[in-house]
């Protein structure tokens, strides 16, 4: 049988489509056009279904070319175009930027950045709605006999000459059957309309009046107002409770008044119903939220509403940075230092950094806000790259509480608590207030130990101890999630004297419940809040204001407004003090300051007790006496001397394999290749490693690192791209898992 449309009949004049496919390979794939072109013609941004090996996959046309490296006869044709209009251009730009910056495959990046529905090949709905109306050819008064429901629906549609959507019809109590009967009789018909809701709100933009700003807030807002039409990167360094959110709200108001869109990023832990409610109370226009609770169709809906400009205010966590914007006005990144903005696997992007790049592309302002800015952003504020704005006073007028360091050495503890802390808790409860006890470890105790021989419960798959849990009783590894029953006796020496070592949230909860039997103790960690909503329920109860004790991990430390907490106790501040990771100190100082910020947010001043084995540590005393801002500036000086970020740029090659030899071989070869390249190119890039990862064995896989650093970003990127090209061709790289992390946040 003759083929009507063989590749040859498409001849030499048809363009070659260069398509990005969801594959880790950092290249495009060439195809011939499908027989029927999309309505917009072949152009970049159109999704296509293509044959790939023996499967069909969905990709995106990236470019049109006249020639391919392969002869035309060897190219396969696209099976089908899936869109009649290209995906949004700003989104496509962002994906291409992201893939290039993070040295990731473009096809993977696109797949990651688009809603699941589009990834699966569903159409972009284009927001059409089906309306039912009387058919123009129907008689004026048809006879319905005993079909009274049909007669009633006919009458209803008579009252709505422009038609009614199906949902409104069923809301009137009609079922689908009645509708189809009338349609089959040709009395009514369906009509599709495109929804074009007004971009500017009808009536008032505000549902609730803005708060009158204090002098500092007003100064910050007017600085932001100065340049709404340009790229204007700003860092707001504002103590917790200083009214940053109020400033964001009024900035968004100004932007929305011009009919432009605001994209607000919040940390994973920060997108609470409280936060959302606060935004929604203020505005009369919909505030669309992108969070993990959305269904796939809902997510696509938000995406499209943003892409066509109907949505003026979009708020979401990390991945919301990939929301297309028809009319971008501002991007706001709240708690910009938060670790959840960095994706830790696959496409390892940083949403805050992409926000700045995106704002530059759109030539709009970007606002980074934090009480504890990252050293990266702070340095740019200090050197003038970003406009540096300050909020030093709390709206409640109480200055944030100072940290009081208390010495853990040589002292008896109960459930991790010093006698002085227990005393302070007693007084606070007596005064009718609430106490937050912060402990960064869930479970009953960090491990189980034999008192006779020193044996400790270790994970069989990781270089780590297993955590003792009591509810339910078991040993669990927090790195690989493996579980074991509690042993009755020591597996090494048979002694029955097994003891819990140290304290976790469960143990502190138990101790406090014993000490204060008449007080409610809420434990808030990943185990106690597994059920959806339970966290929100607890927060609601706490906000009622009864005196109570809250024992929690960092879930509690951030974001929540806990107005009745006047005492915060930090069980142990030492986690980040002597870590091998150069960022550990920065991150633990941020966490301590954020925890401390929970105390005394409302009318009453607060107290923060910080227990430590190192009360004389210079970093800790600096934090306690002068706050995060002072410590951060000291840390910047140290980083500058050590040529660490933000004074240099880093990339981290991670290599992992169940076979230690395979991982080591590849890491060594990669490092060797880099050293050669650096030598022959006389490149100033530094290469360190391979070194074992801080936890070398995790989930029975061996992890090794090779670290690249350079004083200029362009130098680093050149080396990184050479490395990736080498890895893609290396035979040994196929036997192990590897990934390149640009600007790694932890080593
Ligand atoms: P941040 O985002 O800096 O932590 P918020 O914006 O949440 O601070 O403000 C903290 C508290 O102060 C909130 O209860 C808020 O309603 C209140 N607040 C903020 N600005 C003002 C203001 N100008 N006048 C009165 N109260 C304010
Ligand atoms: Zn033993
Ligand atoms: Zn483990």
Which residues define the annotated binding site for Zn(2+)? 450, 453, 459, 462, 477, 480, 490, 493
How many Å from the N-terminal Cα to the C-terminal Cα in the chain? 62
Looking at the predicted structure, is the pLDDT value of residue 140 above 90? no
Q: What is the pTM of this model?
A: 0.87
**Per DSSP, what are the bridge partners of residue 17?**
31, 64
Q: Whose CA is nearest to atom 27 of ligand 1?
A: 395
370 pocket-lining for ligand 1 (C-beta < 6 Å) = no
216 pocket-lining for ligand 1 (C-beta < 6 Å) = no
Query: What is the best residue among 247, 395, 559, 599 to mutate for testing ligand 1's pocket, by most ligand atoms within 8 Å of CB?
Result: 395
Q: Model confidence over 410-466: pLDDT tens digits?
A: 888 888 999 999 999 999 999 999 999 999 889 999 999 999 999 999 999 999 999
Determine the Cα–Cα distance for residues 152 and 172; give it in Å rounded to an integer. Answer: 10
Determine the Cα–Cα distance for residues 26 and 697; give it in Å rounded to an integer. Answer: 29
Task: Find the 366 Cα to ligand 1 centroid distance in Å.
Answer: 21
Ligand (nearest to CA of 458): 3
Identify the CA nearest to 29 among candidates 10, 49, 7, 5.
Answer: 49
Q: Model confidence over 64-116: pLDDT tens digits?
A: 999 899 998 899 999 999 998 999 999 999 999 999 999 999 999 999 999 99
Ligand (nearest to CA of 495): 2
Looking at the predicted structure, is the pLDDT value of residue 543 above 70? yes
Looking at the predicted structure, is the pLDDT value of residue 38 above 80? yes
Q: Which atom of ligand 1 is nearest to the CA of 278?
A: 16
594 pocket-lining for ligand 1 (C-beta < 6 Å) = no
Q: Which atom of ligand 1 is nearest to the CA of 245?
A: 6
Determine the Cα–Cα distance for residues 456 and 491; give it in Å rounded to an integer. Answer: 10
Determine the Cα–Cα distance for residues 504 and 506; give it in Å rounded to an integer. Answer: 6
The values of phi and psi at residue 290, to 5°, are: -110, 110
246 pocket-lining for ligand 1 (C-beta < 6 Å) = yes
Other CB atoms within 10 A of residue 87 CB: 23
Higher pLDDT residue, 273 or 116? 116
Ligand (nearest to CA of 452): 2
217 pocket-lining for ligand 1 (C-beta < 6 Å) = yes
Continuous H helices in 456-564:
505-515, 534-543, 554-557
Determine the Cα–Cα distance for residues 492 and 500; give it in Å rounded to an integer. Answer: 17
Do residues 484 and 519 touch, judged by C-beta distance below 8 A? no
Mean of per-residue pLDDT scores for the chain: 90
Do residues 404 and 609 touch, judged by C-beta distance below 8 A? yes
Query: What is the best residue among 217, 220, 241 to mutate for testing ligand 1's pocket, by most ligand atoms within 8 Å of CB?
Result: 241
Q: Model confidence over 42-58: pLDDT tens digits?
A: 999 999 999 999 999 99
Q: Model confidence over 576-635: pLDDT tens digits?
A: 788 888 999 999 999 999 888 887 666 667 899 999 999 999 999 999 999 999 999 999
Query: What is the best residue among 220, 243, 597, 602 to mutate for testing ligand 1's pocket, by most ligand atoms within 8 Å of CB?
Result: 243
Q: Model confidence over 631-675: pLDDT tens digits?
A: 999 999 999 999 999 999 999 999 999 999 999 999 999 999 999
Task: Find the 631 Cα to ligand 2 centroid distance in Å.
Answer: 44
């Amino acid at each position: 049988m003759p083929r009507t449309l063989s590749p040859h009949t498409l001849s030499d004049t048809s363009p070659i489509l260069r398509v990005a496919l969801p594959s880790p390979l950092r290249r495009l794939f060439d195809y011939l056009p499908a027989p029927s072109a999309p309505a917009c013609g072949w152009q970049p941004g159109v999704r296509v279904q293509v044959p790939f090996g023996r499967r069909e996959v969905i990709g995106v046309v990236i470019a049109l070319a006249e020639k391919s490296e392969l002869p035309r006869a060897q190219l396969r044709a696209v099976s089908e175009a899936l869109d009649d209009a290209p995906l949004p251009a700003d989104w496509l730009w962002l994906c291409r930027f992201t893939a290039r910056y993070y040295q990731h495959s473009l096809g993977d990046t696109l797949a990651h950045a688009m809603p699941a529905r589009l990834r699966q090949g569903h159409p972009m709905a284009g927001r059409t709605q089906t309306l039912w109306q009387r058919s123009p050819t129907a008689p004026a008064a048809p006879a319905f006999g005993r079909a009274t429901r049909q007669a009633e629906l006919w009458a209803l549609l008579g009252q709505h000459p422009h038609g009614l959507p199906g949902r409104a019809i069923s809301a009137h109590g009609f079922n689908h059957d009645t509708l189809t009967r009338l349609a089959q009789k040709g009395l009514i018909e369906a009509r599709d309309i495109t929804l074009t809701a007004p971009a500017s709100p009808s009536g008032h933009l505000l549902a609730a009046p803005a708060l009158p700003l204090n002098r500092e807030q007003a100064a910050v807002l007017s600085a932001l107002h100065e340049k709404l039409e340009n790229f204007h990167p700003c860092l707001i360094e504002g103590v917790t409770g200083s009214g940053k959110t109020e400033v964001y709200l009024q900035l968004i108001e100004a932007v929305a008044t011009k009919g432009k869109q605001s994209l607000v990023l919040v940390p994973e832990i920060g997108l609470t119903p409280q936060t959302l409610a606060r935004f929604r109370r203020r505005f009369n226009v919909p505030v669309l939220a992108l969070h993990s609770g959305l269904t796939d169709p809902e997510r696509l809906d938000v995406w499209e509403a943003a892409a066509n400009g109907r949505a003026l205010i979009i708020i979401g966590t990390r991945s919301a940075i990939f929301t297309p914007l028809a009319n971008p006005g501002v991007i706001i990144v709240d708690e910009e230092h938060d670790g959840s903005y960095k994706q830790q696997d696959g496409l390892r992007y940083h949403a805050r950094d992409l926000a700045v790049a995106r704002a530059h592309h759109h030539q709009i302002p970007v606002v980074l806000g934090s009480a504890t800015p990252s050293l990266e952003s702070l340095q740019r504020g200090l050197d003038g790259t970003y406009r540096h704005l300050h909020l030093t006073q709390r709206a409640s007028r109480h200055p944030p509480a100072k940290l009081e360091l208390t010495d853990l050495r040589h002292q008896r503890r109960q459930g991790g608590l010093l006698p002085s802390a227990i005393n302070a808790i007693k007084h606070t409860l007596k005064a009718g207030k609430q106490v937050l006890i912060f402990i960064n470890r869930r479970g009953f105790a960090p491990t189980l130990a034999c008192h006779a021989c020193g044996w400790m419960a270790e994970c069989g798959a990781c270089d780590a101890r297993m955590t003792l849990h009591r509810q339910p009783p078991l040993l669990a590894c927090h790195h690989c999630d493996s579980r074991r029953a509690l042993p009755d006796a020591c597996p090494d020496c048979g002694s029955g004297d097994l003891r819990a070592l140290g304290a976790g949230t469960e143990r502190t909860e138990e101790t406090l419940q014993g000490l204060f039997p008449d007080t409610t103790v809420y434990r808030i960690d990943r185990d106690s809040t597994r059920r959806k909503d339970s966290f929100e329920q607890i927060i609601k109860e706490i906000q009622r204001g009864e005196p109570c004790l809250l024992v929690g991990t960092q879930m509690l430390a951030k974001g929540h407004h806990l107005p009745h907490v006047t005492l915060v106790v930090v069980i142990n501040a030492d986690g980040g003090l002597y870590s091998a990771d150069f960022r550990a100190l920065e991150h633990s100082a941020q966490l301590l300051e954020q925890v401390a910020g929970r105390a005394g947010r409302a009318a009453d001043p607060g107290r923060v007790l910080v227990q430590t084995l190192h009360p004389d540590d210079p970093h800790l005393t600096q934090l306690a006496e002068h706050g995060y801002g002072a410590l951060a500036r000291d840390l910047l000086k140290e980083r500058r001397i050590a040529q660490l970020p933000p004074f240099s740029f880093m990339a981290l090659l991670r290599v992992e394999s169940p076979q230690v030899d395979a991982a080591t071989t590849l890491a060594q070869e990669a490092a060797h290749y880099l050293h050669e390249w650096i030598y022959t190119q006389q490149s100033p890039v530094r290469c360190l490693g391979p070194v074992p990862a801080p936890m070398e064995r995790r989930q029975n896989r061996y992890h090794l690192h090779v670290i690249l650093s350079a004083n200029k970003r362009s130098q680093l990127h050149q080396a990184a791209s050479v490395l990736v090209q080498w890895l893609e061709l290396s035979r040994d790289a196929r036997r192990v898992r590897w990934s390149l992390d640009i600007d790694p946040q932890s080593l």
